Amino acid sequence: MITVERLTKRYGPFTAVDDVSFEVKPGLVTGFLGPNGAGKTTAMRVMAGLTPATSGRATVLGKPYAALPNPGRHVGLLLDASAQHAGRTGREVLTLGAILMGVGKHRVDEMVELVGLTEKEANRRVRNYSLGMRQRLGIAHALLGDPEVLILDEPANGLDPAGIRWMRDLLRGYANEGGTVLLSSHLLGEIERVADEIIVIGHGTIVAQGTKDELLAGAGTYARSTDDDALLAALAEASIVAQRTPTGGLQVEAEPIVVGRVAVAHQIVLTELRGADSRGLEEMFLDLTADAAREEVAA
Determine the Cα–Cα distance for residues 35 and 186; give it in Å rounded to an integer: 8
What pLDDT is recorded for position 269? 96
What pLDDT is recorded for position 257? 92
Checking if the pLDDT of 217 tops 50, the result is yes
Q: Strand runs (DSSP E) across the chain, as ranges?
A: 2-11, 14-24, 29-33, 55-60, 75-78, 149-153, 180-184, 197-202, 205-211, 221-225, 242-244, 250-252, 270-275
What pLDDT is recorded for position 298? 42
Q: Is 204 helix (H, G, I), strand (E, B) or coil?
A: coil
Residue partners of 100: CB distance under 8 A and separation at least 6: 72
pLDDT band at 219 (very low <50, low <70, confident <90, very high): low
Question: How far lies 262's CA from each of 110, 112, 221, 257, 271, in Å?
Answer: 62, 60, 13, 9, 14
pLDDT band at 173 (very low <50, low <70, confident <90, very high): very high
> Domain 219-276 carries which CATH code?
3.30.56
90, 121 in Cβ contact below 8 A? yes
Q: Which of 7-11, 82-86, 219-223 shows the lowest per-residue confidence on average (mean pLDDT)?
A: 219-223
Closest alpha carbon to 58 in 19, 32, 13:
19
Report the predicted TM-score, pTM, of the whole model to 2 decimal places.
0.77
Q: Is 182 helix (H, G, I), strand (E, B) or coil?
A: strand
What percentage of the chain exceeds 70 in pLDDT?
Answer: 91
Checking if the pLDDT of 133 tops 50, the result is yes
How confident is the model over 119-124, as a mean pLDDT?
95
What pLDDT is recorded for position 44? 95
Amino acid at position 119, single letter = E
For the chain, where do the domains classified as CATH 3.40.50.300 start and end? Answer: 2-215
Please provide residue 204's backbone torsions phi and psi, each rounded to the nearest 5 degrees. 80, 5
Highest mean pLDDT, choosing among 191-200, 275-284, 289-298: 191-200
How confident is the model over 73-78, as a mean pLDDT?
95
For the chain, where do the domains classified as CATH 3.30.56 start and end? Answer: 219-276
Determine the Cα–Cα distance for residues 4 and 132; give it in Å rounded to an integer: 30
> Domain 2-215 carries which CATH code?
3.40.50.300
pLDDT band at 129 (very low <50, low <70, confident <90, very high): very high
Checking if the pLDDT of 187 tops 90, the result is no
Averaged pLDDT of the chain: 89
What pLDDT is recorded for position 292? 57
Checking if the pLDDT of 60 tops 90, the result is yes
How confident is the model over 137-154, as a mean pLDDT?
94
E strand or H helix at 113, and its extent?
Answer: helix 106-114
Checking if the pLDDT of 97 tops 50, the result is yes
pLDDT band at 288 (very low <50, low <70, confident <90, very high): low
Checking if the pLDDT of 94 tops 60, the result is yes
Residue partners of 13: CB distance under 8 A and separation at least 6: none
Determine the Cα–Cα distance for residues 167 and 115; give it in Å rounded to an integer: 9
What pLDDT is recorded for position 295? 46
**Tens digits of per-residue pLDDT, 229-262?**
999 999 999 999 998 887 788 989 888 999 999 9
Strand-pair category, 270-275 with 14-24 = unpaired
